Amino acid sequence: MTTHPDFSSPRIAILGGGPGGYEAAMVAASLGAQVTIIERAGLGGSAVLTDVVPSKTLIATADLMTRVGEAGELGVKFDVDGGDFVPVMHADLKHINDRLLGLARQQSQDITSGLQQHQNIRIMIGSGKLVDSHTIEVLTADGTETVEADTILLAVGAHPRELPTARPDGERILNWAQIYNLDELPEELIVVGSGVTGAEFASAYNGLGSKVTLISSRDRVLPGSDTDAAVVLEEVFERRGVRVMSRARAETVERTEGGVVVTLGDGSKVTGSHCLVCVGSIPNTAGIGLEEAGVAVTESGHIKVDGVSRTTAPNIYAAGDCTGVLALASVAAMQGRIAIAHFLGDAVMPIKLHQVSSNIFTSPEIANVGVTEAEIQSGKYQADIIKLSLKSNARAKMRNAKDGFVKIFARKGSGTVIGGVVVGPNASELIFAISIAVKQKLHVDDVASTFTVYPSLSGSISEAARRLHVHM
């Protein structure tokens, strides 16, 4: 006999308490659903506890140290006994890590408190496994409990990928979840992997005072990012003493008596005190009953989803890093909200990846949204391009910000903004103006004619738009 869910008060079970899970839970509760959210580590998931929140807090400290170190160029002097000197700073890594882990725990607690304010949300701490498309078996500290639901959202996240020849030991060979356990700053840190995570940690630990070597198997750092932005970052790395080894593949990482040695594909060796391995992530989809429930996965283990987060199994949705759509907390949260809206019959628009803005938290920051220049050069899109260096921006000069640019792409013919890149201080904030233009299909003249504060870094966005008007 076929049973139909009671949509007057539907039951929704969410496996995973990261951004994809807890955002969905709040939306579902606000729409009147009965929600059970299951999380094994703590609300916020790895994004809050071991990834985004801790790493960006670390980066904020490193960025402050970099700016203080360059303060002399702004006329700031530090006096001791009446004499000027260049400040000698050092990073108290134990204090830094204690603080960032404390902030992560507090953020997790804030999320928990926010969910607990909804009477129709139940929080379960435990590990869940699908029994079928309506049932989750949950192992908690008190035993095993079965949760039945009209629909299920999987937001199980991902974990650091490990190399079989570079197993992390949590002391000298580390992944990005373990590096916050260090009490002392690595004297010589080798970072394996030049993607977003590797570049961010290389930038951060360089700012904190470590001698950093970045090993990249590709021609340049950030191989999947805007080429001009990557060039700027490589120039900054060279100026600040980061050693970038391109087209070098790490074959093995081994501990020595006092540190680590990385053996490259050509047989050469790189020595250091610590090694951070950043070679991607693996979705947490193994052993959670996906096959039993009829949920299909890709060869990489990611859950297959469509534009509204549906899986191949009826009544089951998925969101976040476990789907492989785009490994961003903002995308996970949007996928979760879309899934709930679709199931409950609320207004919903399929996710559009070209409207997603993202940021790389290196120093300087690198933000982008919309169409990429590579897509334009390939002929996929026809667009005019303007790139405006921040060196001409008055506010950048005042702040002694020497590196960066604003780049805007406008569709040929219509003149609508279809993408852009910002490299510089607070790029993560500045990109929002271009994101609105992309989302709302604004004409470059709409951006150009909008008032900006003078002096401001955002002034370069309107100036770039004005220069695009000449090209129309």
**pLDDT (mean) for 238-244:** 97
User: Quick one: pLDDT at residue 379?
Assistant: 97
Amino acid 71: pLDDT: 87
Q: How far apart are CA 339 and CA 202, in angstroms?
A: 36
pTM value?
A: 0.94
CB 111 within 8 A of CB 43: yes
398 against 71, higher pLDDT: 398
Phi, psi (5° rounding) for residue 427? Answer: -60, -30
- Tokens representing 238 are 């060279």
The secondary structure of 171-238 as a DSSP string is SSEE-TTTGGG-SS--SEEEEE--SHHHHHHHHHHHHHT-EEEEE-SSSSSSTTS-HHHHHHHHHHHH
Position 88 confidence tier, pLDDT thresholds 50, 70, 90 = confident
What Å distances lie between residue 73 and 20, 76, 356, 394, 416, CA to CA? 44, 7, 37, 16, 40
pLDDT band at 79 (very low <50, low <70, confident <90, very high): confident
* Cβ neighbourhood burial of 226 (10 Å; 0-12, 13-18, 19+): buried
Q: What is the mean pLDDT of residues 407-413?
A: 96
- Mind listing the pLDDT tens digit for each residue in 417-453? 999 999 999 999 999 999 999 999 999 999 999 999 9
pLDDT in tens, 208-219: 999 999 999 999
Q: What is the pLDDT of residues 189-203, one digit of tens each?
A: 999 999 999 999 999
- pLDDT the model gives residue 393: 96
Check whether 293 has a pLDDT greater than 50: yes
Mean pLDDT of 258-281: 96
**Which two structure tokens, joined as six digits, stand for 429?**
């904030």
Give yes or no for residue 8 having a pLDDT over 70.
Answer: no
The burial class, CB within 10 Å (0-12 / 13-18 / 19+), for 251 is: middle
The pLDDT value given to residue 2: 45
